[in-house]
Amino acid sequence: MLRRERGREPAPRADRDRAEGGGRPTSDMLVVNDLARAYGGVRAVDGVSFSVPAGSMAGLIGPNGAGKSTVLGMIAGAIRPDRGEILLAGEGIAGWSPVSVARRGVIRTFQTASVFARMTVLENVLLGVPPWHGERLRSAFVGRSAWRREEAAQVKQARELLERLDLGAHADAYAGELSGGQKRLVEIGRAMMAQPRLLLLDEPMAGVSRTLAAPIEALIEELRDGGMTVVLVEHELGLVERLCSPVIVLAQGRVLMQGEMAQLRADPEVRRAYLVG
């Protein structure tokens, strides 16, 4: 990946009003404006715009190849947009590196649950804590008593979280040995430890067995009720219907429609894009 400079690009004149709240106060945690990205000749994302109000859970759906993961990747900083702006609580983060975006409070999960395989479940969750002073190299030698206390507090918090996720018994198991659904729980739990301003869930149900689908859905629902802002990319439309509002439909790199799931289901264009009933 090419290095990206962490800096603000000046917002294009026409959109500056919107960005700085001129005329309309912005309670949107996330605003995506004319986002685009091409691979070779293929326009994976071709001018996508939408906004996600703070505290809401937005669903991003669409057929395969619609560009959902690319959009998510651009928000998370893993993919560099060709054009467009991404505003996190009014601050432009388009083109920032994943590390910078994460430090700003945007935490994401991956399509394949990305745990640290040869580390324990507890250690995995501990790494969800936002970067703190005890992690620095020099802390390994000086002030060990200071961070030991803080680490113990984090461990306590992590254990409680694992209990909530019904993974308490696995705290000392290597994360690589868990099932797909358990790994997903660890991944989401780790994201929760970070207390993000914006959580990006990339197909959380992928690779999850039926037994764990319900607890994971319940967890996501809990997050929404707790006031976290979430963007959820998912193929399972039932989940999206139950949890998300607004729902944004992407097709061929563009926003097809945005609204509540019920009205989207009825729309003939959406149905045609999906080629499913």
| Footprint of other proteins on 18-77 (CB under 8 A) | 76
In the complex, least distance from residue 152 CB atom to other proteins, rounded to whole angstroms: 5
Contact indicator for 224, 192 with CB cutoff of 8 Å = no
Q: Which stretch binds other proteins (CB under 8 A): 49-57, 100-108, 219-227, 260-268?
A: 100-108
Tokens of 122: 């507890």
CB-side exposure of 244: number of CA atoms within 13 Å? Answer: 28
How many angstroms separate the most distant Cα atoms in the chain? 65
Given the DSSP bridges, would you call strands 229-233 and 198-202 parallel, antiparallel or unpaired?
A: parallel
Q: How far is the CB of 123 from other proteins (least distance, A)?
A: 6
Contact residue for other proteins among 8, 16, 136, 271 (CB under 8 A):
136
* In the block, residue with structure tokens 């991944």: 187
Tell me the per-residue interface mask from 151 to 190 with other proteins, x by CB under 8 A, - otherwise: xxx-xx--x------------x-x---------------x
Tokens of 239: 């989940």
Closer of 151 and 241 to other proteins (Cβ): 151
Region for residue 23 given its phi and psi (left: phi exceeds 0; alpha: psi -120 to 50; beta: otherwise): left
Distance CA 224, CA 218 (A): 10
Near other proteins by CB under 8 A: residue from 117, 169, 214, 218: 117
- Binding of residue 218 to other proteins (CB under 8 A): no
Query: Nearer to other proteins by C-beta: 144 or 242?
Result: 144
> Judged by CB under 8 A, does residue 82 bind other proteins?
no
Q: Give 220-256 as a DSSP string.
A: HHHHHHTT-EEEEE-S-HHHHHHH-BSEEEEETTEEE
Contact residues: other proteins, CB under 8 A = 3, 76, 78, 97-99, 102-103, 107-108, 110, 114-120, 122-123, 126-128, 130-132, 134-137, 139-141, 144, 147, 149, 151-153, 155-156, 159, 172, 174, 190, 194
